[in-house]
Amino acid sequence: MSAPSLFASFVGALRFFTRLRIPGTLGQDGVALERAIGFFPATGLLVGGVAALAFVASALVVPKTLAVALAIAVAIVFTGAIHEDGWNDTVDGFGSSVDRAEILAIMRDSQVRAVGAAGLIALLVSRLLALVEVDQALIPAALIAGHTVSRFCATAVFAKLDYVRAEGKAKPFARRVRDHELALAALPALIPLYFLPFWPVVFALVFAGGATWWLARMFKRRIGGYTGDCLGATQQFAELAFYGGLLCRFS
């Protein structure tokens, strides 16, 4: 793709995956949206950067735990909770039924069930507790890395599985991502890793990769592929797994 087309696809990703109000129509055409998924990890740099700035600013005046909570909240607001919603719907569907058609119906239903609500609370609390345990000086880089790596994990699921709905959240860009596109999508996820300790990063990547593999295997086995909610759930679970891996100790 040409540079203007790449930029249009990046803008399309920002429109789709964040709550940014971007004037004009750039990034809204079918071609731009079709390629926008390749820029999903790049949006993680922005979302993670905003969360990191919120943490740094708030940590100047409030305790570390509250600063982490504010950073998480800012990221949720910045994305419109699109990925948390995907996690909630996925937990609802897969936790409430074993029948493929029923799982898909539950995931599409806007009603919040107890299973999904409990899963979302557990996820948010676990994310808070994990980040609080990270060294304060490393939290900004951890936030940026967690947001980018987890979005690459979701992109990998997108690339390797089939979309299972006729219509839905991910339908505008539901196509097979080629290997070179997936490799390019990984580049933004590598940048923040440089600012974190080597061995914790290794474990964080193993944890995030393992979480992604487990979810992808479940998606494939139980519904035959993925939905937009599945991508959101992958992002959320991989992000949490990444933070957990950073906490591995060797002494």
> Is-contact 100 223, C-beta < 8 A?
yes
The CB-side HSE value for 87 (13 A sphere, CA atoms) comes to 22
Torsion angles phi and psi, residue 154, rounded to 5:
-65, -35
The shares of helix, strand and coil residues in the chain, as percent rounded to the nearest 5, are: 75, 0, 20
> Is-contact 115 95, C-beta < 8 A?
yes
> Is-contact 162 226, C-beta < 8 A?
yes
Domain locations along the chain: 41-246
For residue 150, the model assigns a pLDDT of 97
Which DSSP helix (H) or strand (E) runs through 63? none
> Is-contact 224 164, C-beta < 8 A?
yes
pLDDT category at 185 given cuts 50, 70, 90 is confident
Tens of pLDDT along 113-148?
Answer: 889 999 999 999 999 999 999 999 999 999 999 999
Burial classification of residue 182, based on how many CB atoms lie within 10 Å of its CB (0-12 exposed, 13-18 middle, 19 or more buried) = middle
pTM of the model as a whole:
0.92
For residue 110, the model assigns a pLDDT of 78
